[in-house]
Amino acid sequence: MYRCLDEVKQTIHPCKTYQGKVPENGIDFLGYCIGGKAEDKPKNTLNLAWKTIANHLTKIQRLYEQGASPECIAGYVTRWLRWEKRRNHRIRASGHAGI
């Protein structure tokens, strides 16, 4: 853990140094679920958090309710998928995808 923090030039606050076991359902952090286990995925993985997906779907629903055109909604979905793909690729390429 300290190696990963050093790479991104971060430190641990002195009062928050407890390192415990990762809960069964993982830990949500910055839009991703770290650890946890899904039936179709290994236990120690990095996946989109359910809250991230729920927020995305809520945004689509709001755009629809506000009368956004199908092209506008499709553009939002395209940009969101591009963001997720790039971010996911960068994390996995850095070697921090597994715990």
Taking the whole predicted model, whether its pTM rises above 0.75 is answered as no
In a domain, 29, yes or no: yes
In a domain, 16, yes or no: no
Q: What's the one-letter identity of residue 28?
A: D
What the block records as the tokens of 59 is: 């945004």
In a domain, 17, yes or no: no
Query: What pLDDT is attached to residue 84?
Result: 86
In a domain, 11, yes or no: no
DSSP 42: -
Full domain range(s) for residue 61: 22-93
Q: What total number of domains does the chain contain?
A: 1
Length of the chain: 99
In a domain, 42, yes or no: yes
Q: Say whether pLDDT at 6 is over 70.
A: yes
Q: Say whether pLDDT at 92 is over 80.
A: no
In a domain, 84, yes or no: yes
In a domain, 58, yes or no: yes
In a domain, 5, yes or no: no
